[in-house]
Amino acid sequence: MTSKQTVKFVINGDEVELEVLPHWSLLKVLRDSLDLTGAKPGCGEGECGACTVLVNGIPINSCIYPIMEADGKEVLTVEGLAANNGLHPIQQAFLEKAGVQCGFCTPGMIMSAKALLDTNPNPSEDEIRHAIAGNMCRCTGYVQIVESIQHAAGLMADARKRL
Ligand code: FES
């Protein structure tokens, strides 16, 4: 019988230490142990992107990411984006540009968008489409999602000017 191991990582800015089975995925731990249900279980094979979260700033498919790989790292989920009870500009942009329909893909899309905009604040449409290539959406046809991310880039630029 496999025994539990201790894993320690930072989740949305707070350090956690948990007892886990090493074959568990990061997604399972987020949802079942930490009650963070923003990342969605979709295909379970790392193909649809609904479970996307950031690990040390890089978007990963948490459904196939072994929990022990997260040890000592920083994990950011969609729950960690909003600050002071206000929406993050990317979340605001998805609302304003109708980037959300059923919403199942939205947390993963938003996290992929965040990883992009953190490293490329003014991406081209091609760069946006490339960044969300691993995130499937069955509802929007992607046009509103691309527009949402373009709008988010503008909102984030405005926010930087106000600092
Ligand atoms: Fe429904 Fe994208 S909004 S899957």
- DSSP per-residue string spanning 13-79: TEEEEEEE-TT-BHHHIIIIIS----S---SSSSSS-TTEEEETTEEEEGGGSBGGGGTT-EEE-GG
Task: Tell me how far the alpha carbon of residue 131 lies from the centroid of ligand 1, in angstroms.
Answer: 17
Percent of the chain topping pLDDT 70: 100
| Pocket lining: 141 vs ligand 1, CB cutoff 6 Å | no
Q: Give CA–CA dist 117/21, Å, rounded.
A: 34
- pLDDT of residue 1 exceeding 80: no
pLDDT of residue 83: 78
Contacts of residue 154, Cβ cutoff 8 Å, sequence gap at least 6: none
Atom from ligand 1 closest to the CA of residue 102: 1
pLDDT of residue 54: 98
Average pLDDT estimate for 119-147: 97
* Closest by CA position to 114, among listed 83, 138, 68: 83
Please return the burial class of 163, using the count of CB atoms within 10 Å of its CB with bins 0-12, 13-18 and 19+: exposed
Average pLDDT over the chain, rounded to an integer: 96
Task: Tell me how far the alpha carbon of residue 4 lies from the centroid of ligand 1, in angstroms.
Answer: 36
Atom 4 of ligand 1, nearest CA residue: 137
pLDDT band at 37 (very low <50, low <70, confident <90, very high): very high
CA-based torsion, 53, 60, 28, 137: positive or negative: positive
Residue 21: count other Cβ atoms within 10 Å of its Cβ: 14
